[in-house]
Structure 1
Amino acid sequence: MYSKLLSRYPPDYWDEEARPEFRPFERMTNTRVIPGRECKVTVCSSENQEAARGLDCALAHLSEVAFWKDSPRHSPADLMRSVTSGIASKPLSFVAMESTANGVGNFFHREWLRANTPGASDKIPFFVPWHEIEINRCEVSDPDALWDSMDDYERSLWTVHGCTLEAIKWYHEKRMAFSDHRSMMAEYPTTPAEAFSSTVSNVFSSEDVEALREGCRVKAERGEVVMSDCGDTALCVAPRFVPSVDGKCELWRYPRPGGDYIVCVDIGGRTRNADFSVICVLDRHSDSPDGVPEIVAQWRGHIDHDLLARKAEALGRYYGDALLVVESNSWESSSEGEGRYILDTLSARYPNLYFRPCSHDGAAQTVGFHTNMRTKPAIIANLVACVRDRGYVEHSSAACDELLQYEALPDGSYCASRGCHDDMLMTRAIALYIHATGRLVSPFRFDDSTLNAILDRCMR
C-alpha cells in the first residue's frame, strides 16, 4: 500500500532529487527507506509484539486492529503500548488505528467508545459510511418513481443522513443481493452502530442498544459494599460503600430513602476463564424523567460461591433489604453439596429472598429463580421489549456490549456469541421480568423442617 502511495505521490509536494520509492535499508527484511528524505518505514506483524519495541517513530499506522489476537500471550493493549511508546507528543507525530469492525466488546470497539467519550481518549473517532465512497452511485432517471419505491429506512438516508438520490438508488438496488436488511447493514453500514453489529442473528437491534447506551455517560464510583458480621444470623454494623480503585462494585446511584430495589445474582465460576458472577441492583421506580427502572449498581468478578452469597447479602441490605433474586440453576445442581449450604445460609440470614412457586406437591415455594426452557424465552422477550422501548436505564457500557453479542440460534434458543459472555444480560433480564410481572410478594418464613424439605426438592 505504501508503494502504491509513493508511486502516485503529488509532484508539487516532492522537492527531492531522487524519486519517491522504497529501497532496502541495511539488509533489514522488514524496513525500507525513502531516499531523499531518509524516512524509514518498518512493517511488523501483530503476531510478534516485540518487533516494534524500541523504535524511534514519528508515525504509527495500526491496521485491522479489530482482528488482533486478544489472549494472555497476545494482548492488543500491550502491542499498542510497545508500538507507540517511542512516539513523542510533538508536532508532525501521529498514531492512526484503522479497521473493519469485527463485532463489539473487543479492544478496537472499546477504543472506539473511548474516543467517542469526551475527555476519555487522545484519539479522534472517524467513520467512513458506504455513501462517502464515490463508486457507490447509480444514475437516477426518474426521481419520483425512486422515491415512491423507497421504504422508511431508505427515506431516512435522505432526510437524516443527507445522502444523494444517486447513492440511495445504489443502496436500494444493492439490497436485492441480500436476503434481509440486517445483512446489508453489516456489509455496508450507514452508522458506526451498524458497522459493529456484525451478525444477522442478533437478538437486539443495534440501533436500540446504541440508544440505550446514552445512559452509560454517567460515571460510576468503584469500590466494595462491606459489612461487619457478629454471628450467623445477625449484623452489628450496617453495610457501607467503601471507594477503592481495585473494587469490583460499580455504583451509579446511592440508595434513596423509601426506594424499591431488586438485587439479582447470576452465578459464575471461580477461575479467570470461567463465566463471571454478577450482582446487579435495579431501582424499580427511579427519578429519571420517565420514571422507568434503572440499574444503579453492579458487582462483577470471579469469587468463591459462599463469598458471593455474602456480597449479594451486603448489597441487598445496603439497598434497604431489597428483594434478593438468585438465579439458582448452578447452586441447585451443585454435586458437592455447596448449593444446599449457600441456599440454606441465605434463607437463614436474609429477610427478603425471592421464592418461586414450586412444581412439586407438598411445598408452596422454592428458593431462587430457575432459568429453563419455559422461563428463558419469557425473560428474553421482555428484555427485548425493554431495550426497544427504552423501558429501563442502563449505565454499564459492557452490559450494552453483551446485548449486541447475544444471538438467536436456529433451534430457537439463545446464547452469547463465541468467546463472549451473557452474565450481565441475564441479571437484567431476570430483574426486569420480576419487576414487570409483579412477583414481589414477601416470602413465607418456614420452620427448619419445612425449609429442609424445600431445599431437598431444589437439590433434586
Structure 2
Amino acid sequence: MERANEGNLSVWSDPEKYPDIKFLNRYCVTVDIGGRSKQSDESVIKVWDRIFMMDGGPAELSACWAGHADFDHVAWKAVQLCKLYDDAYLIPEINKMREDTSTFDEGDQFYTLVDEIIDYYDNIFCRTDPEKIRQGFPRIYGFHMNTHTKPMVLNALNAAYRDDGILNYDVRSMDQADSFENKGNGKTGAVEGAHDDHVIADALGAWGCIHHMPPVKEVPIKPQVRKKSAANIASF
C-alpha cells in the first residue's frame, strides 16, 4: 500500500495474507452513509480485524475512510476495501440510503449502495431469514437502522467498550462518542451541531464482529498442482 500524509483513508494495520493459511470471517467492513454537502454527516467506512478474537481478544480497527461523496462512489470504495482486506464481510447501513434522498438530484435514477454492487460483490449482510431464502423469498441486503435495531447495536458498542471487546484508534470516534446523547424522546444521536457517523459505524462494527459473524476459522491452503499438458507427455 502506498503511504500519503493526506487523503480520506486512515490505515492502522495493513491487510495480512499468508501463502499456506486462510482465515475465514476475519475482516468486517461497516458503512454509515452520510451526504455530499460539508454540513451533512460524512460517509464512514470502517475495517475491523477479528483475528485476536480467536484467542478471546478484541476486534481491532484496521482502517477507516471518511468523507463526502456520491453514494455510488462510497459503494465502490467499500468494495475496494473489502477486496483489499481479504474479501471482508460487508455490513452497510441502508436506512439513510432508502429514505434521505432529498439532497440528491438523481431521483428515480438513483442507485443505492447495495443495488450498485450486488452483482459484483455478494459477501454482504443479508437480513432475510435463511429459512425464507430456502423457501424462495428474495434476499434483502443491508442493515436497516430503525427504532428496534439502533438500540441493539448501540448497546453492543457500549458493552464492547466496557469489556474491551474492540480496539478503536480513531480519535474522531472518541470525540463523537462524547457528544452522543439520549434525546429524551426515545431517540439517540449527536448533540445539535455535532455528528454521529463514526459512532454508528463503530456500533455496527461491535455488533457485527461480536454478536453476528461466525468465529474466525483457520483453513490451510492446498498447494496448486500443475497439470501436465498433452504436449508434455511423451508417447510410446
**Same-fold call, TM > 0.5?**
yes
Q: Is the 8 A contact 1:332 1:340 kept in 2?
A: no
Q: Residue 200 of structure 1 corresponds to which residue in structure 2?
A: none
- CA-atom RMSD, angstroms? 2.6
Structure 2: gaps (5+ residues)? 216-236
Change (3 A) 1:341 1:292: closer
Measured in 2, the distance between the counterparts of 1:430 and 1:287 equals 17
Q: Is the 8 A contact 2:74 2:113 kept in 1?
A: no
Deviation, 1:286, is 3.1
Change (3 A) 1:357 1:417: same
Q: Is the 8 A contact 1:331 1:340 kept in 2?
A: no
Deviation, 1:342, is 3.7
1:15-44: CA deviations, max 9, x gaps? xxxxxxxxxxxxxxxxxxxxxxxxxxxxxx
Q: Is the 8 A contact 1:330 1:339 kept in 2?
A: no
Deviation, 1:439, is 4.3
Q: Is the 8 A contact 1:332 1:339 kept in 2?
A: no
Match of 2:9, as an amino acid?
A: C
Measured in 1, the distance between the counterparts of 2:37 and 2:161 equals 31
Q: 1:426 pairs with 173, 193, 200, which one?
A: 200
Measured in 2, the distance between the counterparts of 1:298 and 1:353 equals 18
Match of 2:59, as an amino acid?
A: P
Change (3 A) 1:352 1:339: farther
Q: Residue 320 of structure 1 corresponds to which residue in structure 2?
A: 86
Q: 1:373 pairs with 147, 159, 170, which one?
A: 147
Q: Is the 8 A contact 2:91 2:143 kept in 1?
A: yes
Measured in 2, the distance between the counterparts of 1:382 and 1:343 equals 24
Q: TM-score, normalised by structure 1?
A: 0.41
Q: 1:255 pairs with 2, 5, 15, which one?
A: 15
Q: Is the 8 A contact 1:262 1:325 kept in 2?
A: yes
Change (3 A) 1:292 1:416: same
Change (3 A) 1:287 1:433: closer
1:351-373: CA deviations, max 9, x gaps? 311111269x9635311000001
Deviation, 1:341, is 5.2
Matched, 1:357 2:128: yes
Match of 1:251, as an amino acid?
A: V
Q: Is the 8 A contact 2:72 2:111 kept in 1?
A: no
Deviation, 1:287, is 8.2
Q: State the identity %.
A: 31
Change (3 A) 1:338 1:282: farther
Q: Residue 108 of structure 2 corresponds to which residue in structure 1?
A: 337
Who wins on radius of gyration, i.e. which is larger?
1
Change (3 A) 1:288 1:434: closer
Change (3 A) 1:290 1:397: farther
Matched, 1:347 2:118: yes
Deviation, 1:290, is 5.6
Count of residues in Structure 1 that have an aligned counterpart in Structure 2 = 201
Measured in 1, the distance between the counterparts of 2:123 and 2:109 equals 21
Q: 2:173 pairs with 382, 399, 404, which one?
A: 399
Change (3 A) 1:289 1:341: closer
Q: TM-score, normalised by structure 2?
A: 0.77
Change (3 A) 1:419 1:338: farther
Change (3 A) 1:347 1:394: same
Deviation, 1:394, is 0.9
Match of 2:172, as an amino acid?
A: A
Measured in 1, the distance between the counterparts of 2:58 and 2:98 equals 33
Measured in 1, the distance between the counterparts of 2:76 and 2:2 equals 16
Measured in 2, the distance between the counterparts of 1:326 and 1:287 equals 22
Runs of 4+ in 1 over 6 A off after TM superposition: none
Equivalence map 1:41-440=2 (5 Å): 241-257=1-17, 258-259=22-23, 260-286=26-52, 291-333=57-99, 334=101, 336-337=107-108, 340=111, 342-357=113-128, 363-439=137-213
Measured in 1, the distance between the counterparts of 2:136 and 2:56 equals 43
Change (3 A) 1:439 1:357: farther
Q: Residue 191 of structure 1 corresponds to which residue in structure 2?
A: none
Match of 1:346, as an amino acid?
A: I
Measured in 2, the distance between the counterparts of 1:439 and 1:242 equals 30
Deviation, 1:314, is 0.5
Match of 1:275, as an amino acid?
A: D
Match of 1:411, as an amino acid?
A: N
